[in-house]
Amino acid sequence: MKAKEIRELTDAEIRARIKEDGELLQKMYFNHAISEVENPAKIRMIRKDIARMHTILTERQPKSNNQ
């Protein structure tokens, strides 16, 4: 998922997507430990998408005056 696509989502939608992708990633890690995964690069892609969504949520937070 591209950053532009993520920015079009609301905060609640992003949080829901993070939760869904996190669960998928957990299942993929488990399956990878047991047997071969069809596309191991997908694990990395999902991990990066989750990080990208966290970054965009952080950017949206109001900045404090202490910095």
Q: Hey, is 61 helix, strand or coil?
A: coil
> What separation in angstroms does the CA of 43 have from each of 38, 49, 60?
10, 10, 26
CATH fold, domain 3-59, is: Helix Hairpins (1.10.287)
Using one digit for the tens of pLDDT, what is the confidence trace for 12-61?
Answer: 999 999 999 999 999 999 998 898 878 889 999 999 999 999 999 999 98
pLDDT for 64 beyond 80:
no
pTM exceeds 0.75: yes
Decide if pLDDT at 66 tops 70.
no
Any idea where the domains of the chain sit in the sequence? 3-59
